[in-house]
Amino acid sequence: MADRKQEIIEAGIEIFAAKGYYNTHISDIVEVVGIAKGTFYLYFNSKKDLFITLIKRFETIFSALFDSEMLNYADQDLKSVFIQILKKVFNLYKNNENLSIIILREAVAVNHKFSHEFRAMEAKRLQRLKNLYQFLVAGNYLSSEIDFDYFACVFLGIMEV
């Protein structure tokens, strides 16, 4: 049963990345998986429900990577810390290319439909940034005179490029 749900998720990632949210239909997904529409609805209430699952999956992968790596940077200079963090993030996007396309292109384009999910994701992302900021200040990698909001804008700006 979990395998079938996983197949639907994988097909959803592939099709949403290729066709976009609005041009993807449940019939596209079930055709790839080789199931009836009714089977799709055993696992997901709607196309939106599947899309939200994909957003949450990306957030889980990103959070696990970011949170587990933070402790590995003790006794390194600031430049090395940032380079390592950026490499990890870029590898995450590269290793999850279709899911990344959904997040970076599609999820932003349909943001109004998923405002609650994005607010929750943004709150988690800001909390992780705050943890990184505190880590950098505590380790004397970053001056405490640098405002967190400024730090967050610069860091998020780098990530958007």
pLDDT digits (tens, 9 = 90+) for 48-91: 999 989 988 888 887 777 666 555 665 667 677 777 777 777 78
> pLDDT digit string (tens) for 79-99?
777 777 777 777 877 888 887
Look at residue 13 and tell me whether its pLDDT is greater than 80. Answer: yes
Q: How many domains does the chain have?
A: 1
Tokens of 156: 């998020």
Q: Which domain holds residue 87?
A: 2-160
> pLDDT digit string (tens) for 141-159?
778 888 877 777 776 666 5
pTM, full prediction: 0.68
CA angle 38, 41, 42 (to 5 degrees): 95
Whichever domain contains 38, its CATH number is 1.10.357.10
Length of the chain: 161
* CA quadruple 116, 57, 55, 122: dihedral, nearest 10: 50
